[in-house]
Amino acid sequence: MRTFLLATTAALALATAAQAQTARPLDAFETLTPWTADASTDVSSAISEVPGHDGKAMRLSYDFNGRSGYAFAARALDLRVPENYEISFWARGEMLPNTLEIKFTDASGENVHWRQIQRFEAQGEWTRYVIKTRQILWAWGPEPDRSFRGAARIEFVVTAGQGGRGWLEIDQLELRELPPEPSVAPRPVASATSQDGTNVAARAVDDDPLTFWRTTAAGEQSLTLDLGFEREFGGLTLRWADRMAASAYRLMASSDGRDWRELASVTDGNGGTDWLRTLEASARWLRLDLLAPRDESGVVGQAGAGQRLGQSAANA
């Protein structure tokens, strides 16, 4: 029988975001009356009403006609943001990799902030995209105070990367106020499918390099961490104990502890140190599913997997 062992000697270090509050709709896209489409010279663009993620949505269709340039959809928007927040929307599309810009323009029309995503390629299925406070940056304008406090106009812009023709659908644009970021993040609360004696799940996050979590049962096992609130992180580092590595495992994330999404998976782990990148990820709960131990020839009796668990801050 093979069991799993998890030793954590690295601290859990995540960039702090906050537990989300109730979202305020900015546009449900049930009507496109406020929206207009436009484009640069020789580029075609149009908007149309389509079935959405919830109700109706807006489709921005474009054709770069072999040229560089941009196409966009825009509307007036009375937006005032709190100190800490996130802006989210659902999107899907069919497009070559291009640059997606979400632009926020003030009432003067001269000062612009934006969220710019290079090499953006929308998924074919509806996907939720989140813009964090720190991700809205100053673009240009004469205003000496470059802090973002709100906007009078919003644009969804596709700027030519590989160009081509395609479409992008947008639905459920929302603003969510977040509590102030804590100065010190709480220690994660760990739970596990099983634990061996004093080697309990909490030892996986106690910052002691000499302690570890170990299971008592064979087969698939998991370790779940409650981070205390929604937090951002850029990756996970696993340092496996000698001859005790898992060959197959996956990292799952959840914002509510019920609906889980996969951040990373490994099917041919060979021990040593594994670095799992999770760019722009955020979650309150993380779950490490250990699916199969590595077959180490010459190991007699019980075996397991030892690892160091650490999170690198996104864009730290």
**pLDDT tier for residue 151 given thresholds of 50, 70 and 90:** very high
Q: Are residue 173 and residue 267 in the same domain, yes or no?
A: no
Q: What is the pTM of this model?
A: 0.69
Report the domain count for the chain: 2
Final residue of a domain: which of 123, 148, 177?
177
Contacts of 38 (CB under 8 A, 6+ apart): 45, 71, 72, 74
Phi and psi angles of residue 165, each rounded to the nearest 5 degrees, phi first = -125, 155
Phi and psi angles of residue 253, each rounded to the nearest 5 degrees, phi first = -135, 150
* Span 52-75, average pLDDT: 97
pLDDT above 90: residue 58:
yes
Using only the alpha carbons of the chain, give its radius of gyration.
23
pLDDT of residue 259: 86
CATH code assigned at 243: 2.60.120.260
Which residue shows structure tokens 């069919």? 94
pLDDT above 50: residue 315:
no
Beta-carbon count within 10 A of 184 CB: 6
Q: What is the domain range of residue 51?
A: 23-177
pLDDT of residue 21: 61
Helix (H/G/I), strand (E/B), else coil: 204: helix
CATH code assigned at 99: 2.60.120.430
**pLDDT tier for residue 3 given thresholds of 50, 70 and 90:** low
Percent of the chain with pLDDT over 70: 84
Final residue of a domain: which of 177, 199, 219?
177
Contacts of 290 (CB under 8 A, 6+ apart): 4, 215, 220, 221, 222, 223, 246, 249, 305
pLDDT above 90: residue 2:
no
Q: Are residue 157 and residue 292 in the same domain, yes or no?
A: no
pLDDT of residue 249: 93
Q: Are residue 78 and residue 213 in the same domain, yes or no?
A: no
pLDDT, the chain, mean:
84
Q: Are residue 39 and residue 12 in the same domain, yes or no?
A: no
Per-residue pLDDT tens digits for 66-87: 999 999 999 999 999 999 899 9
Per-residue pLDDT tens digits for 202-252: 988 888 877 777 777 668 889 999 988 888 888 887 777 667 778 899 999
Which residue shows structure tokens 């484009």? 39
Tokens linked to 273: 């140190």
Q: Are residue 164 and residue 29 in the same domain, yes or no?
A: yes
Q: Are residue 150 and residue 196 in the same domain, yes or no?
A: no
